[in-house]
Amino acid sequence: MCKLTLEKFEEASEIVRQVTLETKLVYSEFFTQQTGNKIYLKPENMQYTGAYKVRGAYYKISTMTSEERAKGLVTASAGNHAQGVAYAAKIYGVKATIVMPTTTPLVKVNHTKAYGAEVVLYGDVYDEACEYAMKIAEESGATFVHPFNDLDVATGQGSIAMEIIKELPTVDYILVPIGGGGLATGVSTLAKMLNPKIKVIGVEPVGAACMKASLAEGHVVTLPTAKTIADGTAVKTPGDKLLPYIQENLDDIITVDDEELIVAFLDLMENHKMVAENSGLLTIAALKHMNVENKKIVSIISGGNMDVITMSSMVQHGLIARDRVFTVSVLLPDKPGQLVAVATKIAEMNANVIKLEHNQFFSINRNDLVELRITLEAFGTEHKKKIIEKLEQEGFRPRLVQLKGTLNG
């Protein structure tokens, strides 16, 4: 079995340069001010395929013999790995067959086909697609390229650490997302080889923390479920080939809630005009969990492949979470002029009305009270409090209404 060596990491770093875009570190003044540390972003969401996955796929193909390449590649994926393998195979001129679940969004299927791969739709979930892909590989003699549980793939992913340390030799911490563990294995192992003082912290979603559970037990653990909006890291079982390297080289694992990813999405988009998918946002959300000061921290943004519907929902949820959009219910006497009175007070507070719902059937006695629900845009939590206080002072008896978004976890 292949082992991770410095020689192979150096080789991989040179090879992947042939196919990757240069993703130089981005210094973040916003996150630096927020955390008290010097924060740098490694924007792998800017890669040609929208994620880091092409690194591991391309290096994996480079290690294959000409006979193996002639037989082609097979893999299973519903996302970034599919596109990474398809693109890498296209550059090498190798046939690639990608098995994707039948539930895969059409846009991802089309992108994968556009890179020249043959796409086979099979099964309702990844596990079924993966099982079928391995069957195809066995019958055809093609090489199966695992999304993470492959040391050659992990070596290719580790090229990210080489680039970070070359650009910022004095880095103190590197934050890396964890799904199955390929990226974390490559980055942490190479970082420790180059400078043992560098701390590498893995980040997992709370609902799919399979690596954290495996480290706690000392062996690979399979979670009963993997429920998170960070679909790229929704893995129930980490790679058994990777766990020994993670045990040796990863310094800690931080877990973050889905709600934190929503806020991180808004922060990154507003302050850096950058879109990251939910798995890529893990290391942004984790910055608030770092109990250190005046350290140089690099957050690896692993990918940016997010569809516009999800993007719209993330914005909506983020605005709600930041108290920049909220709904308040007020009760008014059912007589002319009351709506104008409320609107005037809201205008005085520099709040913007997004939507009004006027319910005359709130009370059986229509001559008594009607309910007015107002959805407002505010500057944030303090502004929201002042608006509510003003409505209370004017006798409108405001009551906050829980807003429900459209994001599915």
Give me the active site residues, please: 53, 302
Q: Which two tokens stand for residue 394?
A: 């004017």
Q: Which two tokens stand for residue 293?
A: 């000061």
Q: Which two tokens stand for residue 265?
A: 């999405």
Q: In three state form, how does the secondary structure of 121-151 look? A: ECCCCHHHHHHHHHHHHHHHCCEECCCCCCH
Instruction: Give the number of C-alpha atoms closer than 13 A to the C-alpha of residue 43, restricted to the C-beta side.
Output: 17
Q: Which two tokens stand for residue 259?
A: 């709600």
Query: Using CA atoms, how far apart are residues 274 and 343, in angstroms rounded to an integer?
Result: 36
Q: Which residues contact 55 (CB under 8 A, 6 or more apart)?
A: 12, 16, 19, 20, 84, 156, 157, 159, 160
- Confirm if 269 and 13 have CB atoms less than 8 A apart: no
DSSP labels, 15-83 = HHTTTPPP---EEEHHHHHHHSSEEEEEEGGGSTTSBTTHHHHHHHHHTS-HHHHHH-EEEE-SSHHHH
Q: Which residues contact 327 (CB under 8 A, 6 or more apart)?
A: 373, 374, 375, 376, 400, 401, 403
Beta-strand pair 96-100/173-177: unpaired
Q: Around Cβ 6, how many Cβ atoms within 10 Å? A: 11
Distances (CA, A) of 185 to 137, 155, 223, 306, 346: 25, 8, 20, 25, 54
Kindly tell me the burial class for residue 44, based on how many C-beta atoms sit within 10 Å of its own C-beta (0-12, 13-18, 19 or more). buried
Chain Cα centroid distance, residue 291: 22
Which residues are paired to 327 by β-bridges?
375, 401
